[in-house]
């Protein structure tokens, strides 16, 4: 008749075979009893608790502030992670054929392709604008990195210098002379270890761009997006005008 077959509230002890009241131990042999009535509900209880946990976890994830990550640190293990990146647009934002907005964000450690399928009504940011994007990363073969954004904020537009300090005012005729230039940092290039190539800080303003080069042991503390003022020596390399930085303190972050 089974363990529950003899009388309501009674069970058959699997150890001694006697009928005993439903309790933790048999009233005859004193050994612990197994309560099947409770155990048969355990799988359903576990499923219910798991569903409740997943629901709470997803609800918390939707409201949790995503962590900020540097683009150069993104690896395949970040696939499908919801994160925040901040940097400067390498090019003007553009609209693709399917209506999605495309942004190429550079934070000095790398470049990230960002796609926004439901953009806000804000104007299209231009190259050099400082932006922050929040969304889900997709990392494919060869560490191909992109983001499906749900939020993109233009933190500041491109700030241009006052007349007389623009980058286009620096001409090849000024070679060997000390000049001042103001622009926004759009790229930072570090030479390979052991290379004799210079460090380069690429600046941009409304008229164009210029490379600030240096061989200093201590590089200026700047990042992509900073608006800086540079005092340096004008030089020409392979037909391109450059500004040579000779002292770290001659590069100043304005904001």
Q: State the chain's mean pLDDT as an integer.
A: 80
Instruction: Domain count for the chain, please give it.
Output: 3
In this prediction, residue 126 carries a pLDDT of 79
> Pick from 156, 179, 201: which residue ends a domain?
156
pLDDT grade for 145, boundaries at 50, 70 and 90: very high
Would you say 106 and 187 are in contact if contact means Cβ atoms under 8 Å apart? yes
Domain carrying residue 146: 71-156
**Residues 94, 22 share a domain:** no
Residues of the chain with pLDDT > 90, as a percent, come to: 21
In angstroms, rounded to a whole number, what is the distance separating the alpha carbons of residues 201 and 186? Answer: 8
Task: Output the pLDDT for position 122.
Answer: 62
In a domain, 132, yes or no: yes
Would you state the pLDDT for residue 7?
A: 52
One domain for residues 199 and 152: no
Q: Does residue 9 contact residue 22 with C-beta atoms inside 8 Å?
A: yes
CATH number, domain containing residue 95: 2.40.50.140
160 with 181: CB under 8 angstroms?
no
Residue 139, domain member (yes or no): yes
Residue 2 inside a domain? The answer is no
- CA gap 230, 186 in Å, rounded: 14
Q: Which residue has the higher pLDDT, 185 or 17?
A: 185
Between CA 3 and CA 33 the distance in angstroms is 10
For range 20-38, the mean pLDDT: 71
pLDDT recorded at residue 2:
43
> Considering the domain boundaries, does residue 4 fall inside one?
no
Classify residue 5: in a domain, yes or no.
no
Residue 249 and residue 204 share a domain: yes
Domain edge (last residue) among 42, 63, 84: 63
Could you tell me how many residues make up the chain? 255
Which residue has better confidence, 129 or 214? 214
pLDDT score, position 176: 92
DSSP element (H, E) containing 56: helix 42-63
Model confidence, pTM: 0.45
> Is residue 80 in a domain?
yes
Asked if residue 81 belongs to a domain, the reply is yes
Can you tell me the distance from the alpha carbon of 60 to that of 208, in angstroms, rounded to the nearest whole number? 46
pLDDT of residue 1: 41
Alpha carbon of 210 to those of 77, 199, 213: distances in Å? 37, 13, 10
- What's the half-sphere exposure (Cβ side, CA atoms, 13 Å) at 238? 1
Nearest of 89, 87, 168, 86 to residue 126 by alpha carbon: 89
DSSP structure class, residue 197: P
- Could you give the CA distance from residue 231 to residue 238 in angstroms, rounded to a whole number? 22
pLDDT at 4 over 60: no
- Residues 71-110 have pLDDT tens digits of 989 999 899 989 999 888 878 888 888 889 999 998 777 8
Residue 164 has pLDDT above 60, yes or no: no
Of the listed ranges 29-38, 61-70, 192-201, the least confidently predicted one is: 29-38
Over the stretch 38-53, which tens digit does the pLDDT of each residue have? 556 677 778 888 888 7
Give φ, ψ of 110 to 5 degrees.
165, 175
**154 membership: H or E segment, kind and range:** strand 145-156
């Amino acid at each position: 008749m089974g363990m529950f077959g003899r009388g309501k509230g009674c069970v058959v002890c699997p150890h001694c075979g006697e009928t005993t009241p439903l309790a933790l131990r048999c009233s005859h042999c004193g050994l612990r009893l197994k309560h099947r009535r409770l155990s048969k509900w355990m799988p359903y209880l576990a499923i219910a608790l798991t569903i409740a946990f997943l629901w709470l976890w997803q609800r918390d994830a939707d409201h949790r502030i995503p962590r900020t990550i540097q683009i150069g640190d993104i690896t395949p293990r970040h696939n499908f992670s919801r994160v925040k990146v901040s940097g400067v647009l390498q090019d003007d934002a553009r609209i693709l054929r399917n209506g999605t907005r495309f942004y190429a964000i550079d934070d000095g450690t790398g470049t990230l392709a960002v796609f926004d399928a439901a953009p806000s009504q804000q104007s299209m940011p231009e190259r050099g604008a400082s932006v922050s994007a929040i969304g889900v990363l997709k990392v494919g073969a060869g560490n191909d990195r992109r983001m499906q954004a749900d939020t993109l904020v233009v933190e500041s537009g491109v700030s241009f210098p006052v007349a007389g300090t623009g980058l286009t005012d620096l001409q090849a005729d000024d070679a060997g002379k000390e000049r001042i230039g103001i622009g926004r940092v759009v790229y930072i290039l570090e030479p390979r270890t052991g290379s004799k190539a210079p460090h380069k800080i690429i600046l941009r303003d409304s008229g164009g761009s210029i490379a600030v080069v240096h061989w200093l042991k201590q590089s200026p503390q700047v990042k992509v997006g900073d608006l800086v003022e540079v005092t340096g020596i004008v030089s020409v390399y392979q037909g391109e005008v450059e500004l040579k930085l000779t002292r770290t303190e001659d590069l100043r972050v304005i904001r």
